[in-house]
Amino acid sequence: MASIERAALEIREMDDLAALDSPIHALHPLAKLLTTMVYLLTVVSFGKYDLSGLFPMVLYPALLFSLSGISVKTCFYKLRMVLPLLLAVGVFNPLLDRAPLVRLGGVALSGGVISFLTFTLKGLFCLSASFLLAATTSLDSLAAALRKLRLPKMPVTLLLLSFRYVSVMMEELAAMTTAYRLRAPGQKGIRWNAWGSFLGQLLLRSMDRAEELYASMRLRGFQGDFPYAEGRPLSGRDLAYFLLVTLGLLAFRIWNVSRLLGGLLL
Amino acid sequence: MIRFDHVSCAYEKGRTVLRDLSFSLEKGEAVGLVGANGAGKSTLMKALLGLMPYEGEITVDGLKVEERNLREIRRKLGFVLQNSDNQMFMPTVAEDMLFGPLNYGMKREEAEKTVDEVLLSLGITELKGRHNHRISGGEKRMAAIATVLAMKPEVLLMDEPSSALDPWNRRMVIRTINALPVTRLIASHDLDLILDTCGRVLLLSGGRLAADGPAEEILTDRALLEKHRLELPLRFGGENPR
């Protein structure tokens, strides 16, 4: 299968993951969305040298991975294009901040190394949590949850249509690339002088298709709201999940659990 | 049920696609819309659905096709697109079928019951939980029809319903169309399908209504069809290139 077709299929596979059956999938999208937002805010609120305080935040994605049945491998595979960027964010910190901050055994670790690790972990945790939200909740349900939070119709609809448009564009790109390759044997990729018309055609074709897709939505009553994706109302279980996780995260933020445990053991 | 009164449509100045069209469709009628490429079949459908501006007057069940009536009109009209990929945008067939009814305010339990009934009537219950990107072209076409029927439309509009279908699936679509107790307007180049499903034919040519009459009469008139760049249906000896 061509790499573009594989990429298009990968986007659709997020729908497959969201359709799995697990205790996390069964939670109300609004509860999951709010919990994820609290988690992201808590993670980014840790200071750049607070590596030990940040570390217990791994428990939330770990819990979700184990309960949702989605493997860590799937997550890292889907995020493989973004992960290198995480490293790039703090890669120069060890060079810029060389003052020793902590000693680990006989090794002195500089502030730059600690902040680099903190940034990387923060990014990893945030990406994992966002991925888990998207992989356990359909995009339409998420859009419905955003509307419940009183977000305006326009940006929510744009988010939804962008997702659909990316799939459509990838499909068109796959079809056009195949057509090109069949008439250009022996060529590696697409010649530079064909890129202009190729991209123009791709844009026009995918816009035509996206327009028809949107017309199809409007013809079936879509007006920017998501009654079809709302499902059941919030239950006591959803509220309990949100409150328990939020309290746990706040506790991790207020008390340095790593240090407390370390103090008990040493 | 549907009335076109001196309707004209243009995409841009100087490029008129429909010219002074007047006709009406009675409740329960099955009408075929035929014509060569560029005759205006798809444009006529778009104008009827309020997807493009027009001059003259189009009414559906007495309601003029204009912005303030579009929601009510679109509730009455079910449109099956030529490309099912553009019609099926939800992850699964069942979710796609629920999309329309729930948007129009049907209760979830009732909508789910309707989905089951429609799937059963089309003989495709096994598709219910299947993912749209994992079903075949024929299955997708049947599922696309199901998404529209779940809205319980009063009029069914279909654009090239047999395109990309194998003979078995084509036969299934014909049976499905014939079993529907609603008004039907079917645009197609497949004149044999039109003969099998429609009692009346509208022949469009260059945006004008070139003929309007019984399907058996129009689709057996070789001179008329050839004048408008069409051929007899294959069963009546339509040209075989071999």
pLDDT tens for A85-110 read 888 877 888 888 878 777 777 788 88
Residue B104 lies in a domain: no
Overall domain count for chain B: 1
Quote the pLDDT of residue B134.
Answer: 84
Contact status of B133 with chain A (Cβ, < 8 Å): yes
Cβ atoms of residues B15 and B127 within 8 Å? no
Mean pLDDT (whole number) for A59-84: 91
Percent of chain B scoring above 90 in pLDDT:
67
pLDDT bucket at A7, cuts 50 / 70 / 90 = confident
A124 and A202 co-located in one domain = no
In this structure, the answer to whether residues A226 and A242 fall within a common structural domain is: no
Nearest by CB: A227 against B86, B103, B133 = B103
Report whether pLDDT(A199) > 70: yes
Number of structural domains (chain A) is 2
Interface check A45 vs B, CB under 8 A: no
Contact A45/A208 with Cβ under 8 angstroms?
A: no
Other Cβ atoms closer than 10 A to A262: 11
Give me the residue from A19, A209, A212 closest to B92, CB to CB: A19
A134, pLDDT greater than 60: yes
Which residues of chain A have a CB within 8 Å of the CB of B95?
A: 138, 140, 228
CA-nearest residue of chain A to B77?
A219
Rounded Cα distance between A28 and A14, Å, is 18
Q: What local confidence, expressed as pLDDT, does residue B143 receive?
A: 92
Give the percent of chain A with pLDDT over 70.
98
- Between A266 and A49, the higher pLDDT residue: A49
Q: Bigger pLDDT: B183 or A230? A: B183
Q: Do B99 and A18 touch (CB under 8 A)?
A: no
pLDDT above 80 (res A12): no
The pLDDT-based confidence of B183 (bands split at 50, 70, 90) is very high
- What CATH number has the domain bearing residue B38? 3.40.50.300
Residue B173 CA, distance from chain mean position: 12
The rounded percent of chain B whose pLDDT value lies above 70 is: 97
Whether pLDDT at A228 is above 80 = no
- Interface check for A20 against chain B (CB to CB < 8 A): the answer is no
- Four-residue CA torsion sign, A54, A55, A59, A64: positive
Q: With bands split at pLDDT 50, 70 and 90, how would you rate the model's confidence at B240?
A: low
Residue type, A44: V
Q: Is A12 on the interface with B (CB under 8 A)?
A: yes
Task: Quote ipTM for the complex.
Answer: 0.85
In a domain, A199, yes or no: yes
Q: Would the pLDDT of B137 be above 70?
A: yes
The residue range of the domain holding A185 is 1-9+151-231
Q: Do A219 and B71 touch (CB under 8 A)?
A: no
Are the Cβ atoms of A228 and B147 closer than 8 angstroms? no
Alpha carbon distance B211, A209 (integer Å): 32
Query: CB neighbours of B232 closer than 8 A, spacing ≥ 6?
Result: B191, B219, B220, B222, B225, B238, B239
Tokens standing for A221?
Answer: 């009553």
B234's CB contacts (< 8 A; 6+ apart) are B192, B240
Assess if residue A145 is contained within a domain.
no
Reported as a pLDDT band with limits 50, 70 and 90, residue B238 is: low
Comparing A248 with A140, which gets the higher pLDDT?
A: A248
Q: Would residue A131 count as lying in a domain?
A: yes
- Residue B147, chain A, CB below 8 Å: the answer is yes
Which 3 state secondary structure label does DSSP give B152?
coil
Q: Please report whether residue A15 resides in a domain.
A: no
Residues A161 and A239 in one domain: no
Residues A120 and A252 in one domain: yes
State whether A48 and A156 are in the same domain.
no
The residue-averaged pLDDT of A52-60 equals 92
A122 and A41: one domain? Answer: yes
Calculate the dihedral angle through the C-alpha atoms of A82, A213, A4, A79, rounding to the nearest 10 degrees. 20
* CA dist., res. B192 & res. B232, Å (int): 9
Report the b/e string of A11-47 with b at 16+ CB within 10 A: bbebbebbeeeeebbebbbbbbbbbbebbbebbeebe
Inside any domain, residue B60:
yes
pLDDT number for residue A8: 73
The burial class, CB within 10 Å (0-12 / 13-18 / 19+), for A122 is buried
Residue B239 pLDDT: 62
pLDDT at A16 over 90: no
Q: Is B51 on the interface with A (CB under 8 A)?
A: yes
Whether A256 has a pLDDT exceeding 90, the answer reads no
Count how many pairs of residues, chain A against chain B, have C-beta atoms within 8 Å. 71
Kindly report which listed range (A1-15, A183-197, B52-66) carries the lowest average pLDDT score.
A1-15
Question: How much is the pLDDT for A2?
Answer: 62
Statement to judge: residues A67 and A155 lie in one domain: no
- Closest Cα to residue A133, out of A183, A75, A210? A75
Length of chain A: 266
pLDDT value at residue A104 = 75
Interface test with A, best of B79, B81, B89 (most A CBs within 10 A): B89
Asked if B105 has any chain A CB less than 8 Å from its own CB, the reply is yes
Q: For residue B13, what pLDDT is reported?
A: 67
Q: Is residue A161 part of a domain?
A: yes
CB within 8 Å: A212 and B90: no
Contact A228 B92 (CB under 8 A): no
Pair (A5, A114) in one structural domain: no
Q: Which residues face B186 on adjacent strands?
A: B32, B158
Percent of chain A with pLDDT over 90: 36
Is A19 within 8 Å of chain B by CB?
A: yes
Q: At what angle do helices A153-182 and A3-18 cross, to 10 degrees?
A: 140
Q: Kindly report the average pLDDT of chain B as a whole number.
A: 91
For the record, the structure tokens of A128 come out as: 């994992």
A189 occurs within a structural domain: yes
Residues A244 and A219 in one domain: no
Q: What is the pLDDT of residue A207?
A: 87
Q: What's the pLDDT score for residue A5? A: 72
Q: Is the pLDDT of residue A56 over 60?
A: yes
Mean pLDDT of A12-37: 91
pLDDT of residue B86 exceeding 80, the answer is yes
Distance, in Å, from the CA atom of A238 to the CA atom of A36, rounded to the nearest integer, reads 13
- pLDDT of A136 higher than 70: yes
* Mean pLDDT, residues A1-20 taken together: 77
Give yes or no: residues A198 and A265 share one domain. no
In a domain, residue B144? The reply is no
pLDDT, mean of residues A6-35: 87
B8 close to B58: Cβ distance less than 8 angstroms: no
Measure in Å the smallest separation between the Cα of A210 and chain B Cα atoms. Answer: 8
Q: Is A195 exposed, middle or buried (0-12, 13-18, 19+ CB in 10 A)?
A: exposed
Mean pLDDT of the residues in chain A: 87
Provide the pLDDT for residue B156.
Answer: 95
* Position A14 in a domain: no
pLDDT band at A1 (very low <50, low <70, confident <90, very high): low
Residue A99 lies in a domain: yes
- At A229, the pLDDT band (50, 70, 90 cuts) reads confident
